[in-house]
């Protein structure tokens, strides 16, 4: 990975909201409304951060009807895979990240209200 790519990756993850979004996306593909529900953030903020993550190449999007779904990019970047693995292992140390995942897992059956 070139220095420019590494800088882009770490700058994208340096923001708390973007880090929380990436953390949630380790659980699988999510609709914007699902991310809003778990993070308790407005659509405009979540969408702005998702756009940043897309530009950085960390997430991919697909449109289904009126809704946008996001997932982690299927990237071959070894650094990204390593960072995501460390993020998953470090959730217990970062209480808010673990809380987000727990909230998602509890709400999983009730989420996607906007998309159903």
pTM, two decimal places? 0.84
The confidence score (pLDDT) of residue 11 equals 93
Q: Which CATH class is domain 3-106?
A: mainly alpha
Please report the sign of the dihedral spanned by the C-alpha atoms of residue 99, residue 105, residue 110, residue 111: positive
Instruction: Note the pLDDT tens digit of each residue in 26-76.
Output: 889 999 999 999 999 999 999 999 999 999 989 999 999 888 899 998 875
Of 42, 41, 50, the C-alpha closest to 68 is 50
């Amino acid at each position: 990975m070139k220095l420019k790519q590494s800088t882009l990756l770490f700058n994208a993850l340096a923001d708390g909201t973007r880090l929380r979004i990436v953390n949630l996306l380790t659980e699988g593909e999510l609709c914007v409304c699902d991310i809003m529900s778990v993070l308790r953030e407005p659509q405009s903020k979540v969408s702005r951060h998702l756009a940043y993550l897309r530009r950085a190449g960390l997430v991919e999007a697909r449109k289904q009807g009126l809704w946008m779904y996001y997932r982690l990019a299927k990237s071959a970047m070894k650094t990204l895979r390593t960072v995501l693995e460390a993020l998953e292992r470090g959730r217990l140390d970062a209480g808010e990240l673990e809380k987000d995942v727990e909230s998602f897992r509890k709400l999983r059956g009730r989420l996607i209200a906007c998309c159903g």
